[in-house]
Each structure stands twice: as structure tokens, then as C-alpha cells.
Structure 1
Amino acid sequence: MGNIVHFENVGLRYGTGPETLSDVSFTLATGGFYFLTGASGAGKTSLLKLLYLAQRPTRGAVRLFGEDAGSLPRARLPGFRRRIGVVFQDFRLLPQLSAYDNVALPLRVAGVRESEIEAPVMEMLAWVGLSARVTAKPPTLSGGEQQRIAIARAVIARPEILVADEPTGNVDPDMADRLLHLFEALNRLGTTIVVATHDLHLIGRIPHAQLMRVEKGKLVDPSGLLRHPPGGA
């Protein structure tokens, strides 16, 4: 099993302030499942932004899919980002589009024919328990419903990497378990999963997952991930 992500001595600074992340190094194996934990403000979201290319590192190297993400030409970024599914804490649904069209968006952007879109979108909406809200627009949905639409959109195109920032924060425990099963199914198909969460129950449900923890902008290593990276560094 090869590696899909490699960070080497990465630092991130916003403007002229102190570094938000300092000397972060780790390797993620293709098809691995990882939980990222840490107190609020520790740097979890900033690390995720580097993973899904919303930020470039101030220093150090970030390699994704075998390439240096920090030096990618701007023209190649959209293609790279289409290989990464993201569940944002603030959902980022398009308010003018229905639940169906929000979930269908990644497939349409990827050029999937319209005749091949309906079945997977309806299946995904059923999985997240929103078959009855197909035509509803985000402003009419609850926070938990919006979260589920955001997750369905992130996984619909079977991304190579799924990055999820507190994906179960607005749903009840039963739905959290159901969504975790969805992530597991995607992982079995080969997707590398990275979930940032405070939910210890969630972490305990995936015994094979590895755990990373951010403390004050630095990555600590309860899983031995840094010393013995899966697949070799």
C-alpha cells in the first residue's frame, strides 16, 4: 500500500502573526482511516485546509498523490481538488440549489452524463435519510439536515481522499453511527478518510483507525504514525 499524503516540516502562518502550525510531519497511507483530534484552536482546521488545498504551507512540503502540492500551477488546482471530498463545518451548500442539485454538483462538474446522475444521488439521499427532502433548498433545512446534505455531496463522487471537519456535530447519535458506516464503506472502496472530531464515541467505533492529535500547532503521535508511517515514508 502506497502513500497518498506526505507532510514534511510544514509550517503555516496567517499574515504576520505567529505560526498556527509548526514543524508538522506525517504520512498517510492510501486507503487508511485517520481521526484528527485536539482542543479548539489547536490547529486542526488549519491542517485540514492544507490537506484540501485551501491553503498553501508557509514553509515545508505537502505532497498529495505523489506531487508537490505547494508548487502546483493554479490551473491544475481544480483537477486536484476534484480528487478530494470535503465536509466543511459550515456546510457551504449553495442556497439557491435544491438538496438534490447540491448533491449532484460534483458529478456534474466531473462531466457525468445527466442520465447517470439520478440513481446515485437518490441512493445517497436515501442513505442520509433525506429522500423526502429532495426538492428542499438549504435555507429550509435544519442544521442536521444541511450537514447530511454536505456529507452526501462530499462522498457522491467517491473521492480518493475524504476530509471531514466535525462531520457529526449537528446530528443525533443514531445518524452519527449511520454516517460513520458510510465513511467505512467508502474507505473499503479505497478512499483515504481523515475525520476531525471531538467525539470519543465516534473514534472508538473504528478500531483499525489511526489517531493524530494537534496540540498548540504541533502534531503529537498516539498511533506511532510518524515513527512508522504505513507503507514506508
Structure 2
Amino acid sequence: MTNIVQFENVGLRYGAGEETLTDVSFQLGAGSFHFLTGASGAGKTSLLKLLYLAQRPSRGVIRLFGEDTVTLPRARLPGFRRRIGVVFQDFRLVPHLSAWDNIALPLRVAGVVEADLEQPVREMLAWVGLAERAHARPATLSGGEQQRVAIARAVIARPELLVADEPTGNVDPDMAERLLHLFDSLNRLGTTIVIATHDLHLLSRVPHAQLMRLDRGRLHDPTGALRYPPKAAE
């Protein structure tokens, strides 16, 4: 399996404080599915930021799609980011756009003509249970509805890499199950998926997923061999 992500002895430090991430090394194969777990403050969000190129490491090497992102010219970053779908914990929807237009945004940025937007956007709205809320703006949506719009926006362009920070944290168990099925379906089409979560019960819903665990900035079991259920000592 070709590696789509490779971290080599990566460290991340904000300012003059202690390292948030220390000597993180791992590889993610193309088409693999991973859950990233760890206690609050373990560094999960920081690791995700490195994956979707919102942050550069303080040291070490990060390769995405076979290229070193640390030395990648800034002019090439937008093209790389279009290959990555991101579900942010705080949603980051465009406030003046409707749910429909927020979901359509990645396709428009990619140059898809308006006539070809109708079907995929309508299908995504139906899948996340928001067909009747297509023209609602974010301020009129509940937290769970905003989360579903954010997920639909992240997956509509079928990214090569999908990074999600607590994507089921604001929805009920039934919708969480449905969204995990969406992620699993996308994964089976070839997308590499990394989901940060504190809910270990989710891990049993995707039995082929691999587990990555952060503890105080260090990655444990970087091979991903540990699967659900976790060891009793944990």
C-alpha cells in the first residue's frame, strides 16, 4: 500500500514553551482508516493541524502525497489543501452562505460548473438529513445541524485525505452512526481518513479502522496495530 502520509521525528512547539508534540513518527497508507485518541490536551488537534497544513512543525519531516511539505513553496499549498477535506471542531461555516452554498463551496473552488452542482449537493444534503434546511444560514441551524453541514462540505469533493476533529460530538447516536457509515463509504472509495475522537465506543463501528493514541504529545502504537477494544490497562 502506498503511503499517503509520513511523519518522521516530528516535533511541534508553540512559542518558547514545552513541545506539544514530541518525536512523532508514523505512516498512513492510501485508503486506510484511523481513529486518533488521547486525553484532552494530548495534542490531537495539533497533530490534525499538521496533517491539513494549517501548522508547520518545529522540527522533523512531514510528507503528504509523496512530497515534503516542510520545504514545499507556499504557492503550492492551496493545491495541496484542495486534496484534503477537513471537518473542524468549531465547524467554520461561511456565515453569509446557506447550507447549500457552504456544501457546494469546495466544488466551486475546484471549478465545477453550476449545472453539475445540483445532484451532488442535493445528495449530500439528503444523506446528512438536511434536505429541508438547504437554504438556511448557519446562524439559524442548531449545533448538530451545523456539524452535519461541515461534514458534507468536507466530503463532497471526495478528498484523497479526510481529517476530522470530533465529527460526531454534536449529533445524536443515530446520526453519529449514519455519519460514520458515510466516512466508511468514502474510505472504501479510496480516501484515507483520520478521525480524532474521545469516544472509544465509535471504534467498534468501523472494525477495520486502526487506532493511534497520543499521550502527552507522544504517539503510542504508531503502527496502528492496536484495534478495538483497547487493552484493559488503558
- TM-score class, shorter-chain normalisation, is over 0.9
Provide the identity percentage.
Answer: 79
Shift of 1:16: 1.1
2:16 corresponds to which residue? 16
Do 1:26 and 1:225's aligned partners in 2 also have CA atoms closer than 8 Å? no
Shift of 1:35: 0.3
Do 1:31 and 1:190's aligned partners in 2 also have CA atoms closer than 8 Å? yes
Shift of 1:225: 5.1
Moved over 2 A (4+): 222-226
| Normalised TM-score (structure 2) | 0.95
Correspondence list, 1:31-42, <5 A? 31-42=31-42
Alignment partners' CA distance in 2, 1:13 and 1:57? 8
Shift of 1:222: 7.2
2:78 corresponds to which residue? 78
Shift of 1:198: 1.1
Do 2:26 and 2:223's aligned partners in 1 also have CA atoms closer than 8 Å? no
Which structure 2 segments of 5+ residues have no match? Answer: 227-234
AA at the equivalent of 1:212:
M
Q: Is 1:123 the counterpart of 2:123 in the alignment?
A: yes
AA at the equivalent of 1:166:
E
2:221 corresponds to which residue? 221
AA at the equivalent of 1:55:
Q
Shift of 1:95: 0.4
Do 1:161 and 1:191's aligned partners in 2 also have CA atoms closer than 8 Å? yes
Correspondence list, 1:154-193, <5 A? 154-193=154-193
Q: Find the residue that maps to 2:92 and give its secondary structure.
A: coil
Alignment partners' CA distance in 1, 2:225 and 2:76? 30
Do 1:22 and 1:218's aligned partners in 2 also have CA atoms closer than 8 Å? yes
Q: Find the residue that maps to 1:71 and give its secondary structure.
A: coil
Do 1:92 and 1:150's aligned partners in 2 also have CA atoms closer than 8 Å? yes
User: What count of residue pairs does the alignment treat as equivalent?
Assistant: 226
Q: Find the residue that maps to 1:86 and give its secondary structure.
A: strand
Which structure 1 segments of 5+ residues have no match? Answer: 227-233
Do 2:25 and 2:222's aligned partners in 1 also have CA atoms closer than 8 Å? no
1:231 corresponds to which residue? none
Q: Deviations for 1:25-69, whole angstroms, at most 9, x for unmatched residues?
A: 000000000000000100000000000000011000000000001
Correspondence list, 1:57-206, <5 A? 57-206=57-206
Q: Find the residue that maps to 2:5 and give its secondary structure.
A: strand
Alignment partners' CA distance in 2, 1:28 and 1:92? 26
* Compared CA separation, residues 22 and 139, structure 1 to 2 (3 A): same
Q: Find the residue that maps to 1:34 and give its secondary structure.
A: strand
AA at the equivalent of 2:130:
L
2:52 corresponds to which residue? 52
Q: Find the residue that maps to 1:47 and give its secondary structure.
A: helix
AA at the equivalent of 2:156:
I
